[in-house]
Amino acid sequence: MKRKPELFKKVLVANRGEIAVRVSRALKEMGIECVCVYSEADRLSSHIAFADEAYSIGPAPATQSYLNIERIIETAKKSGCQAVHPGYGFLAESHEFARACEDQGIVFIGPGSKSIEQMGFKTQARKIMKGSGVPVIPGGEEPLSDEAEAITLAEKFGYPVIIKASAGGGGKGMRIVRAAGEMKSAFKTARNEAESAFGNPAIYIEKYIDRPRHIEVQILADNYGSMVYLGERECSIQRRYQKLIEESPSPAIDAKKRKLLGETALKAAEAAGYRNAGTVEFILDQSGRFYFLEVNTRLQVEHPVTELTTGIDLVKEQIRIASGFPLGIKQKDIKPEGSAIECRIYAEDPSNDFLPSLGKISRLRNPAGPWVRMENYVYEGYDVPVYYDPLIAKLITWGQTRPEALARMSRALEEYVIEGIETTIPFHIWVIRDENFRKGDFSTSYIDEHYTGKPTDEHRKVPSDVALIAAAINRVESTAVPKKGSTGTTNRWKDTSRREGVS
């Protein structure tokens, strides 16, 4: 689209949670009015408090609210927005949504609908990359018609193989198959998941690379053919293909490989006719060879680690590019510094197979201090809703070196208090203290190989006697939690000491 470069006056953020807050902050800093939308389940979500205007867009289920294209476009027009920022998830990779925006004269802050469509359909993306000389993993590029076809292909590539959703990402609809006998159930669950998560049951199969690392490259491309890469992110700490910890730079990449990866990412972006911010994902096998995985045509959850090492605000860059400004930075000026790491705080119980943990946050203390960044939307008293992604916050730290960034992360995690629900904080504390992780010796199988859900003594810093002291005092005094404003500490002691026989 040709338009004279001029910053938008008003932008709608078509998302919720921490990313809606993140985008609102960038808009405010740029002097752009921020419009947010919310479902009936999100009236008390804090992304509303960070916006200038808020519009209700329907019932709690995402399909009736945050995925309702018509309603969101109507809201953007009604509120006088010139552009829409989709965040990540929901409609961020919907080419229908991007096209609907284009048709209605609203700027979609992201790539064009055609790139999204091409890159979103993984089999098509692979074909384009293969044709442009970008290395890809051996695999069937056509969607599978049935289980028998899956078995034939699996035998051709050799087990293990992996089934993936053609329209998907984020681990939904993915299954590893190690023998023909496992194909039936994997085929079925992958299809079901693909259907329910993306509304498209198409799945495909490829050779599974054992113990790879997941490395991705952040790129920025303007509307006039200029492109840059902003270094890589290491995202190998994953569970069920959901990333939990990301860092930049990767401990497995040296300067020479970094340049090669960056240039390959730009080649991929060029092949896709890409513009705006995007991420080219690769997998790195144990011998150091890398293969194209996919292009994420949106802002990533883990974008802050790149922001901290490069000093570039990616959301503002997205908005500037979408406003029609040319890229203000050249490749030679991008010199990432230090080391940044992000821990994703999910409402999940790491001691119970990471099952979702729902409920009210009864106590919250966010970490702070030097080089600690919080991306957050929850507050004390907030009820985490069942309808959406369980990501409640992201904690990011920076250091001049990787050990310094890790020490800061460890310190920040120890300060972090979330009560009332289970979170991934204990998991992160465990990982940051783990010798393999500290040495940079890990792959995407790390959690399966090392994490049992139960912290061992070598990963603990708090003596167990202190826990016994806390438990004994709690029992001897009272089980009641003091209410706000109550002054009854002494009396409570008396009451319970009388009951328990201590005086």
Partner 1 sequence: MEGYVKKGRRVVIYYASINGRDAKIKIEKKNDMYTIEIDDRSYVVDRQHLEGSGALSLVVDNKCYEASVTRSDGALLVCISGEKFEVTLKDELEYRSASPSARHTGLESEEIRAPMPGVVVCVEVEEGQRVSAGTAAVIVEAMKMQNEISAPAGGTVKQILVREGDVVDSRQVLVVIDRG
Residues annotated catalytic, as ranges: 298
| 453 near partner 1 (CB under 8 A) | no
Complex with partner 1: residue 194 or 315, whichever CB lies closer = 194
- Quick check: 423 and 407 in contact, CB under 8 A? no
- Taking CB under 8 A as the criterion, the residue among 43, 77, 78, 240 binding partner 1 is 240
CB of 501 to partner 1, least distance (A): 4
- Quick check: 216 and 305 in contact, CB under 8 A? no
CB of 434 to partner 1, least distance (A): 14
Half-sphere exposure of 424 toward its Cβ, with a 13 Å CA cutoff?
29
Q: For residue 456, how many other CB atoms are within 10 A of its CB?
A: 9
Q: Distance (Å, rounded) from C-alpha 260 to C-alpha 256?
A: 6
| 145 near partner 1 (CB under 8 A) | no
- Taking CB under 8 A as the criterion, the residue among 197, 329, 334, 374 binding partner 1 is 197
Complex with partner 1: residue 319 or 396, whichever CB lies closer = 396
Complex with partner 1: residue 314 or 361, whichever CB lies closer = 361
| 436 near partner 1 (CB under 8 A) | no
| 363 near partner 1 (CB under 8 A) | yes
| 368 near partner 1 (CB under 8 A) | no
Q: Distance (Å, rounded) from C-alpha 118 to C-alpha 272?
A: 7
Q: For residue 497, how many other CB atoms are within 10 A of its CB?
A: 14
| 485 near partner 1 (CB under 8 A) | yes
- Residue among 298, 275, 309, 268 nearest 136 (CA): 268
Q: Distance (Å, rounded) from C-alpha 223 to C-alpha 90?
A: 24
- Taking CB under 8 A as the criterion, the residue among 132, 200, 331, 497 binding partner 1 is 497
C-alpha separations of 220 from 184, 262, 463 in Å: 41, 11, 48
Complex with partner 1: residue 112 or 170, whichever CB lies closer = 170
Complex with partner 1: residue 287 or 490, whichever CB lies closer = 490
| 18 near partner 1 (CB under 8 A) | no
Q: Distance (Å, rounded) from C-alpha 423 to C-alpha 354?
A: 9
- Quick check: 312 and 230 in contact, CB under 8 A? yes
Complex with partner 1: residue 206 or 422, whichever CB lies closer = 422
| 117 near partner 1 (CB under 8 A) | no
Q: Distance (Å, rounded) from C-alpha 287 to C-alpha 38?
A: 47
| 218 near partner 1 (CB under 8 A) | no
| 434 near partner 1 (CB under 8 A) | no
| 467 near partner 1 (CB under 8 A) | yes
**What are the structure tokens assigned to 394, written together?**
């992201």
CB of 374 to partner 1, least distance (A): 15
**What are the structure tokens assigned to 295, written together?**
């292009």
| 414 near partner 1 (CB under 8 A) | yes
CB of 429 to partner 1, least distance (A): 5
| 60 near partner 1 (CB under 8 A) | no
Span from 10-18, 140-148, 155-163, 383-391 in contact with partner 1 (CB under 8 A): 383-391
Residue 136: DSSP 8-state: B
Span from 45-53, 144-152, 267-275, 467-475 in contact with partner 1 (CB under 8 A): 467-475
Q: Distance (Å, rounded) from C-alpha 413 to C-alpha 342?
A: 11
| 357 near partner 1 (CB under 8 A) | yes
C-alpha separations of 131 from 111, 293, 364 in Å: 21, 15, 51
Complex with partner 1: residue 256 or 461, whichever CB lies closer = 461
| 184 near partner 1 (CB under 8 A) | no
- Taking CB under 8 A as the criterion, the residue among 18, 42, 117, 193 binding partner 1 is 193
- Taking CB under 8 A as the criterion, the residue among 185, 286, 401, 445 binding partner 1 is 185
C-alpha separations of 78 from 28, 74, 179, 499 in Å: 21, 6, 55, 64
Residues ≥6 apart with Cβ < 8 Å to 34: 10, 11, 13, 23, 24, 27, 28, 50, 51, 52, 53
Span from 13-21, 22-30, 115-123, 453-461 in contact with partner 1 (CB under 8 A): 453-461
| 201 near partner 1 (CB under 8 A) | no
For the packed helices 113-120 and 95-103, what is the interaxial angle rounded to 10 degrees?
170
The 3 state secondary structure assigned to 76-103 is: HHHCCCCEEECCCCCCCCCHHHHHHHHH
| 389 near partner 1 (CB under 8 A) | yes
| 425 near partner 1 (CB under 8 A) | yes
Strands (E), 87-226: 107-108, 161-165, 175-177, 203-207, 213-221
CB of 324 to partner 1, least distance (A): 35
Residues that bind partner 1 (CB under 8 A): 172, 185, 189, 192-193, 196-197, 240, 351-353, 355-358, 362-363, 386, 388-390, 413-414, 416-417, 419, 425-426, 428-429, 455, 457, 460-462, 464-476, 479, 481-486, 489, 497, 500-503
